[in-house]
A = this chain, B = another copy of it.
Amino acid sequence: MKFKIGQKASIEKSFSINEVRDFAGITGDHNPIHLDEEFAKRTVFGKPIVHGILCSGLISCVIGEQLPGNGSIYLGQELKFVAPAFHGERLIAEVEILEVIIEKRHIILKTVIRKSDGTIVIEGKARVKVQTL
């Protein structure tokens, strides 16, 4: 079997203010918490934060490119937004196989995004269908 419980993969990336702006443009999500310094100062975060869903794109990236990789079908994702990610902060997205459901060809992955100091930004689980186990 190609996929084993405990198998991991990860990528690292930061989001620049321009990338956050581009994402706001694509989705139409212009919530000022993501781009307006003055607005963000008056919130609990103190400065603009990267959209949680944009950060989550790193999880789908590891899943699609590495584990299980190309050809896998993304069936579901649970996300808990635990801490904010600020513009330019280095993020590590890691997935780890928790369960392999042989009869359905489904894989359950633990999915975590951390900062370089270990702070968890997002945690959750994904369900993916693969072509072959």
Given contacts A70-B33, A76-B81, contact A26 B28 (CB under 8 A): no
Partner of A57, one of B54, B59, B73, B75: B54
Write out the residue numbers on chain B whose beta carbons fall within 8 Å of the beta carbon of A64.
29, 31, 33
Residues of B within 8 A of A4 (CB): none
The number of times this chain is found in the oligomer is 2
A32 to B78, CA, bound (A): 24
A26→B19 contact, CB < 8 A: yes
Task: Judge whether B74 and A27 touch: CB under 8 Å.
Answer: no
Q: Which residue of B lies closest to A42 (CB)?
A: B71
CA distance A60 to B58 in the complex (A): 16
Cβ A26 vs Cβ B31 within 8 A: no
B78–A78 touching, CB < 8 Å: yes
CB of A57 within 8 A of CB of B19, answer no
Q: Which of B32, B56, B71, B75 is the one whose CB lies under 8 Å from A56?
A: B56
B-facing residues in A43-79 (Cβ within 8 Å): 43-44, 51-54, 56-61, 64-65, 70-71, 73-79
